[in-house]
Amino acid sequence: MSERALFVTKIGVIAATVGSAVGLGNIWRFPYMAGENGGGAFLITYVCCVIILGIPLMCAEFIVGRKARSNASRAFKVLAPKSKWHIIGYFGIISSTLILGYYMVIAGWVVEYIFQALRGNLMAESATQIAANFSDFTSDTWRPLLWVLTLLIINYLIISKGVTKGIEKASNIMMPILFLILLIFCGYTITLPGAGEGLKYLFYPDFSKINGSVILAAMGQAFFSLSIGLGILITYGSYFKDNVSLPKTGLTVALLDMLVAVLAGVMIFPATASFGINPTQGPELIFVTLPNVFKHMIMPDFWAIMFFIFAGVAALTSTISLFEVIIAYFTEEFNMNRKRASIIIMAIIAVLSILSSLSFGVLSDVKLFGMNFFELSDYFSANILLPAGGFLFSIYIGWVMNRKDVYSELGGVNAIYKAILFSIRYIAPISIFLIFLSLTGIFK
């Protein structure tokens, strides 16, 4: 095998992993999931899922990656030769492809909004008009697809050359700026009249609202947001130097990731309360709420441009990590060069994106299990494939992998190792299993 690259600095490790984790999942998906699943009840369930399942499972993926120093599927061939464990890698590849198919569509919406903001067209007179403009745009057949195509080309330019230092450096600079912008917006939205109602909705848990489907949604969100269950963290872990602490990295990434999600919530919910927008309105939530927020600020277009550019960058660093997992697999398993692999993958993703994008227009009535193609890809990947991947990882690392390898990667037999191992062996598999069971209705 050729010499593998390593992340040079510890900051680089955090930046790259946070770059994958922080994305549309935090800025776009978290607020609408919280809106649809009871606000505070969702938030608290989500935080519990991140701490109890998320951090241990992140560490589990890092352990496999750093020990095997290879891509997601091959890692298991290295660690468990002549077994079928490498099939988990396929889970990751399929889920990544499915996620990219609809993630590109939302990222495309973000680019449209940058474009509209630049032209000064974003702020319609009324909230109703802003919502109407948005649904006109998303139900259009061609325009959203144009942006998907643009994004595929941008991804291609970066990916086909390998993940350049440019992207890493860019995310080093962009991520702190994203935090700063979020903080400024939050400072503004919490002073809006009626903001308290929104904050109460987000932070005050109504425990009676927690049920099987809220827990499933929170768990899916935790997996999605931390990029767990796909083998992305295996791939990244394989680039970590031996002196990087895996638990510390997992904890830092999880905390920063949660912080961005919560800040996005603080940006949205006071504004929905103040402008009388229904927070349960689903995927379009931020695209309708935020222009209303910007409109009331000084220099609205400036803020809109800033916000959507940074959301776009956050999305880009995540799509690149998703692409990498698939590319690494194609190039290594089929001996293909990066360019060729990128083109094949882009074609598959283009087809999925077309179906997702048209789900908001001509295909909106084509449904399976009551969901259109977009909703189905999102639901199926976040709520089924990622947790299933996490489940299998936890079984492998908790019960099959050589215990010495596990503790040597975690810095020896200490309290942290014991806590993580306990979650990976018992809590994670059992709770994922029970949550799945509750889905089938066998168990409530």
Query: Closest distance between ligand PHE and the C-beta of residue 247, in Å?
Result: 20
Q: Does 235 bind ligand PHE (CB under 6 A)?
A: no
- What is the DSSP code string of 335-397? ---HHHHHHHHHHHHHHHHHHHHHTTTTTTT--BTTB-HHHHHHHIIIIIIHHHHHHHHHHII
Gyration radius from the chain CA atoms: 21
Using rule CB under 6 A, residue 21 touches ligand PHE: yes
Q: Least distance to ligand PHE from the beta carbon of 26, Å?
A: 5
Residue of 32, 42, 224, 360 interacting with ligand PHE (CB under 6 A) = 224
φ/ψ bin of 241: left (φ > 0), alpha (ψ from -120 to 50), beta (otherwise): beta
**How far is it, in rounded angstroms, from Cα 32 to Cα 23?**
14
> Distance between CA atoms of 337 and 227, rounded to whole angstroms?
26
Q: Is 179 exposed, middle or buried (0-12, 13-18, 19+ CB in 10 A)?
A: middle
Contacts with ligand PHE, 279-318, as mask; x by CB under 6 A:
---------------------------------------x
Contact with ligand PHE (CB under 6 A) among 232, 256, 273, 432: 232
Minimum CB–partner distance for residue 103 and ligand PHE (Å)? 7
Q: How far is the CB of 321 from ligand PHE (least distance, A)?
A: 5
Q: Is 237 in the site for ligand PHE (CB under 6 A)?
A: no
Binding segment toward ligand PHE, per CB under 6 A, in 52-60, 133-141, 221-229, 235-243 = 221-229
User: Least distance from C-beta 314 to ligand PHE, angstroms?
Assistant: 7
Nearest Cα to Cα of residue 342 among 355, 367, 325, 364: 325
Instruction: Considering the complex, state which of residue 110 and residue 210 has its C-beta at the smaller distance from ligand PHE.
Output: 110
Residue 19, token pair as written in the block: 């770059």
CA atoms of 151 and 287, how far apart (whole Å): 19
Residues within window 69-108 making contact with ligand PHE, judged by CB under 6 A: 99
Distances (CA, A) of 81 to 85, 235, 351: 9, 18, 35
Tokens at 212, concatenated: 């099987």
Q: Does 227 bind ligand PHE (CB under 6 A)?
A: yes
With CB under 6 A as the contact rule, which of the stretches 18-26, 58-66, 142-150, 210-218 interacts with ligand PHE?
18-26
3-class secondary structure for 214-235?
HHHHHHHHHHHHCCCCCCHHHH
CB of residue 206 to ligand PHE, shortest distance in Å: 26
Write down the least CB distance from residue 322 to ligand PHE, Å: 5
Summary count for the chain: helices (H), strands (E): 22, 0
Written in H, E and C, the secondary structure of 279-320 is CCCHHHHHHHHHHHHHHCCCCHHHHHHHHHHHHHHHHHHHHH
Burial of 128 (0-12, 13-18, 19+ CB in 10 A): exposed
Counting every residue written for the chain, the total comes to 444
Q: Is residue 17 a contact point for ligand PHE (CB under 6 A)?
A: no
Site for ligand PHE in 128-157 (CB under 6 A): none
Instruction: Name the residue nearer to ligand PHE (CB basis): 274 or 318.
Output: 318
Task: Return the number of the residue (392 or 410) whose C-beta is nearest ligand PHE.
Answer: 392
Window of 19-27, 31-39, 120-128, 167-175 that interacts with ligand PHE by CB under 6 A: 19-27
Instruction: Please choose, from the candidates 396, 371, 363, 394, the residue with its C-alpha nearest in 3D space to the C-alpha of residue 76.
Output: 396
Point out which span in 15-23, 269-277, 290-298, 412-420 binds ligand PHE (CB under 6 A): 15-23
Q: How far apart are CA 354 and CA 377, in angstroms?
A: 13
User: Is residue 26 involved in binding ligand PHE (CB under 6 A)?
Assistant: yes
Identity of the residue, 186 or 326, whose beta carbon is nearer to ligand PHE in the bound complex: 326
Q: Which stretch binds ligand PHE (CB under 6 A): 227-235, 244-252, 282-290, 299-307?
A: 227-235
- Single residue of 230, 385, 397, 401 touching ligand PHE by CB under 6 A: 230
In the bound complex, what is the minimum distance in angstroms from residue 259's beta carbon to ligand PHE?
Answer: 13
> By rule CB under 6 A, what count of residues binds ligand PHE?
15
Task: Tell me which residues in 321-380 interact with ligand PHE (CB under 6 A).
Answer: 321-322
Distance CA 106, CA 104 (A): 6
Exactly one of 16, 17, 18, 25 binds ligand PHE (CB under 6 A); that residue is 25
DSSP per-residue letters across 166-222: HHHHHHHHHHHHHHHHHHHHHHHHTTSTTHHHHHHHHHS--GGG--HHHHHHHHHHH
Closer to ligand PHE at the Cβ: 236 or 275?
Answer: 236
The footprint of ligand PHE (CB under 6 A) covers 20-21, 23-26, 99, 224-225, 227, 230, 232, 318, 321-322
